[in-house]
Amino acid sequence: MTTDAAVEYHPLDPDTLLDPYPVYASLRAAGAPVWSQKLDSWVLTSYRDCRQVLLDHENFAADWRRAGETVPDPALDVHTIDPPDHTAIYGVLANSLRDMASDGLAARTRDHIAAMLDERPDGPFNAITEFTEPLARWFIPEAIGVPPFDLTTVRPMAEAITQAMDSGLNPAAREPGVAAQRQLAAMIEDWVTGMDAGHPIRVLVANALAAGVPRHIAMNSLRTLVVNGFTAVPASLGNALNLLSRDPSLLADQLGSPEAIDRAPHEFFRYEAPIQGTTRLAVRDLEFNGVKVRRGQGMLMLFAAANRDPEQFDAPDTVRLDRWPNHHLTFGYGAHACTGSLLAHLLLRELLTVLVERGTTLKPAGPAVHKKLATVRTLAELPLELGK
């Protein structure tokens, strides 16, 4: 096994939380996957390696049952099953989300963002707790047509599920996460039961069942959209605002047309990926880029590292909002590419549109502080001041 203590990956180390990219560059310089005893996985940091694993579902499983693991039913969803079973639910979700990401939703989103900015009192504020998180938690129910979140009920479930994403580092988080998945899926079942037959979510579920998708997988896959309101969506907003506040030229000079604004979210997603990576398991013994991988071993693909790979991206540590094409891996690649990326893109695009149209400026009012999470790269504090 290729192991080098000098490039061992400790994702919750305070320095790594602050800036993981030097560590990622050191790992990538090894030229091959690096074995992490702590994570019981091969750590992949090059664009080529990550993309290869994402595209090879024959050898690398998102459905860990194929590698001999036991996976509880609440954890089975569009992200954790493989083709051919995966194909039907993925197609139904993708078609439904394309319909949801409408011009009408975009207009309602712009109006809501403008109202939030109008209601903002003068002076410094924490843009995470007072803007990006409330915006994301309004947007997801508005986009997918579920009731507004009752945060006293939904937030603890979402937080337990988010913590369970780091169960490789903290195994004790796994069971509470599975219990929360079960609770949230049951809540969504109640929502769906109470909807009219023509409601888009009822139609989505009916289409999934007609395509042969088991009902629990359909419900669990809807659950992943709800959890996005507490994970990738607010994370991507906060990460973008952090960058905009620290480089005023991004708003002032690089967003001069609707086309530029439409492309810009992809560069924010690439530069600071809200989801740092994900793991596949090898379903058989094989050799991969010079290392011997055994059945059941993890392949931790660090998308955030791949997105800064200089072999794929010119000047990868520079934000270029006009970078195009921009084949980042933030939302995966191939069969398991995240369908929810359509909504994340729409929300950030409309936020940028409003900021540009209003001539809003963002000024740091203190240091940004990251949450102590490995999988989701998201801020707990982002002190800002708004200006014009």
Looking at the domain assignment, is residue 55 inside a domain? no
Residue 65 DSSP class: G
Looking at the domain assignment, is residue 216 inside a domain? yes
Looking at the domain assignment, is residue 179 inside a domain? yes
pTM across the whole model: 0.96
Rounded Cα distance between 270 and 326, Å, is 8
379 SS3 class: strand
Looking at the domain assignment, is residue 20 inside a domain? no
* Percent composition of the chain: helix, strand, coil (DSSP 3-state, to 5): 55, 10, 35
Domain count, the chain: 1
Looking at the domain assignment, is residue 373 inside a domain? yes
- Calculated CA dihedral for residues 176, 182, 185, 189, nearest 10 degrees: -140
| pLDDT digit string, tens, across residues 262-301 | 999 999 999 999 999 999 999 999 999 999 999 999 999 9
Residue spans of beta strands (DSSP E) within the chain: 34-36, 41-44, 60-61, 125-126, 277-282, 286-288, 291-293, 298-302, 361-364, 369-370, 379-381, 383-387
Report pLDDT for 7: 63
Strand duo 379-381 + 369-370: pairing: antiparallel
- Core vs surface per residue 199-238: b (16+ CB within 10 A) or e: eebbebbebbeeeebeeebbbbbbbbbbbbbbbbbbbbbb
The closest alpha carbon to 52, from 337, 301, 304, 359, belongs to 301
* Residue 1 scores a pLDDT above 90: no
| pLDDT digit string, tens, across residues 330-380 | 999 988 999 899 999 999 999 999 999 999 999 999 999 999 999 999 999
Q: How many C-beta atoms lie closer than 10 Å to residue 38's C-beta?
A: 11
CATH label of the domain that carries residue 342 = 1.10.630.10
Looking at the domain assignment, is residue 268 inside a domain? yes
Rounded Cα distance between 143 and 44, Å, is 34
And the tokens for 325? 């094409």
Angle at 327 between CA 325 and CA 328, to 5 degrees: 130
Q: Band of the pLDDT at 388, cuts 50, 70, 90?
A: confident
Report pLDDT for 8: 78
Looking at the domain assignment, is residue 239 inside a domain? yes
**Domain range holding 114?**
71-273+315-387
Provide φ and ψ at 107, rounded to 5°: -65, -45
Rounded Cα distance between 174 and 142, Å, is 30
Looking at the domain assignment, is residue 39 inside a domain? no
163: number of CA atoms within 13 Å, CB side? 17
| pLDDT digit string, tens, across residues 212-256 | 999 999 999 999 999 999 999 999 999 999 999 999 999 999 999
Strand duo 286-288 + 291-293: pairing: antiparallel
Residue spans of beta strands (DSSP E) within 164-297: 277-282, 286-288, 291-293
Helix (H), strand (E) at residue 308: none
* Average pLDDT for 202-209: 97
